[in-house]
Amino acid sequence: MVKVLHFVSKMDRAGQETFLMNVFRNINKDKVQFGFLCTLNTPGDYDKEINDLGGELHYEPIKKAGHFKIIKNQFILIKTLRTLVSKYQIFEIHTQHAMDAVLSAIAAKIAGFHTVIIHSHNSSSLYHPKLHLIFKHFLRLLNVQRFACSNSAGKWMFGNSSFLIIKNGINLNDFIFSQNLRKKVREEMKWQGKTVIGHIGRFNSQKNQEFLIKIFNKYYLQNKNARLILIGAGENEDKIKKQVEKLNLQKQVSFLGIRTDVGDLYQGMDAFVFPSLFEGLPVVLVEAQAASLPCLVSDSVTNEIKITNKIIFKELNASSDEWANALKSTLSSFQTRINETDNINKAGYNIKKVSKKLESLYLSY
């Protein structure tokens, strides 16, 4: 058996963590087992399930701020990894920043890991972009395996170096469109007669919810039956709630928090809006397309996400009025929902196939 130690912040219901759990559920655990080294010593949404699946959680609280803390963190990480190297054969770093990738990879090599994987999950970063460019050059010199969720995420992290694309697969059966389920969800959520606009994402600057509220405000002026459903949590949540209150939209905008039933909620929505500043390849947009949900997406998201014709791109620098009009057009263009799972499967986003590919890769190192 090969044991893989994944380096993450914590195992919450965010994009890359959800992908890792999708893989963990489907990989052959007689051949490959997972452990998770978390930099935040707080409970994660998936902790119990990880333990139930036979995985292990390890905690290494580190601080990212300040030059001296970065140096101290290196020694702490090396010391921790030395205690784990006898249990795990592979160390996989999940990151969006080259500095984190390089420093973590060096620590793993010093600790004795022969196989280190750097897995890029994003196509940009708000965190010290100049440092990213500097460390990107060092990254080329390291003897590591290179994974990316998309071509744009790979180019961002690895430049012209070769890398493998590991697609953000999903369990297709969880998202097949069902008219009966849609009716049930809309009744339970009291969405009958409403135009339900959905959004799933961590409340942070990258996901651009502040602009999303402006878009919805303009669309609501055109359609008083509109409702906006926000799913997720994060550091900007209170700020967005205050924005909603200022616009007097409290009855039209719902904050649902972290949900375990997003597969059902997609069914009840009428459209999905995603105005992110940047992305690797969002799992939620794969899920939304599998549910045959029309998606209005910023053009900063890679066009690799266009698996079906349900993706409509809009310029990020367009006004909220233009986005509202595009949303109206998107809703009128896609009034029929169909089974899109064949298209998702053919594009390579079936988690069973992705997990099999990763299993083969892990066993080959």
Average pLDDT over residues 233-238: 95
Asked whether residue 239 falls in the same domain as residue 95, the answer is: no
Identity of the highest mean pLDDT range in 14-18, 44-48, 353-357: 353-357
Q: Are residues 317 and 185 in the same domain?
A: yes
- pLDDT-based confidence at 211, cuts 50/70/90? very high
pLDDT in tens, 303-328: 999 999 999 999 999 999 999 999 99
- For the chain, the domain total comes to 2
Q: In terms of domains, do 163 and 247 share one?
A: no
Contacts of 101 (CB under 8 A, 6+ apart): 93, 95, 118, 120, 135, 139, 157
pLDDT in the model for residue 40: 87
Give the residue-averaged pLDDT of 226-251.
Answer: 97
Is the alpha carbon torsion for 284, 41, 154, 209 positive or negative? positive
Q: Is 74 exposed, middle or buried (0-12, 13-18, 19+ CB in 10 A)?
A: middle
State the average pLDDT over residues 118-122. Answer: 90
Give just the sign of the alpha carbon dihedral 344, 346, 348, 352.
Answer: positive
| Residue whose C-alpha is closest to residue 232's, from 210, 260, 195 | 260
Q: Quote the domain boundaries for residue 330.
A: 172-346
Both 233 and 336 in one domain: the answer is: yes
For the chain, give the mean pLDDT.
93
What Cα–Cα distance (Å) separates residue 303 from each residue in 72, 95, 293, 299, 306?
40, 21, 17, 8, 6
Q: What is the C-alpha to C-alpha distance for residues 80 and 74, in angstroms, rounded to an integer?
A: 10
Same domain (yes/no): 281, 234: yes
Is residue 239 predicted with pLDDT exceeding 60? yes
Q: How many CB atoms lie under 10 A from the CB of residue 160?
A: 6
Q: Tens of pLDDT along 279-303?
A: 889 999 999 999 999 999 999 999 9
**pLDDT tier at 128 (50, 70, 90 boundaries)?**
low
Q: Clarify whether residues 233 and 94 are in a common domain.
A: no
| Cα gap 31→205, rounded to integer Å | 40
Model confidence at 64: pLDDT above 60: no
Statement: the pTM of the whole predicted model exceeds 0.85: yes
Q: What is the CATH number of the domain that holds 303?
A: 3.40.50.2000
**CA neighbor of 320 nearest in space, from 243, 239, 233:** 243
Helix residue ranges, H only, 42-178: 47-52, 67-84, 98-111, 129-139, 151-158
Residues near 78 by Cβ (< 8 Å), separated by ≥ 6?
A: 107, 110, 111
> In 3-state terms, what secondary structure has residue 78?
helix
| Same-domain pairing of 39 and 159 | yes
Q: Could you tell me if 251 and 360 lie in one domain?
A: no
For residue range 2-43, what is the model confidence (pLDDT) as tens digits?
999 999 998 988 888 999 999 999 999 999 999 999 988 888
**Residues 202, 149: one domain?**
no
The verdict on 162 and 178 lying in the same domain is no
| Burial of 257 per CB tally in 10 Å (0-12, 13-18, 19+) | exposed
Q: Are residues 139 and 265 located together in one domain of the fold?
A: no
One domain, residues 224 and 336: yes
Residue 124 has pLDDT above 90, yes or no: no
Contacts of 58 by beta carbon, 8 Å cutoff, 6+ apart: 5, 35, 36, 37, 38, 80, 84
Q: Which amino acid is at 320?
A: S
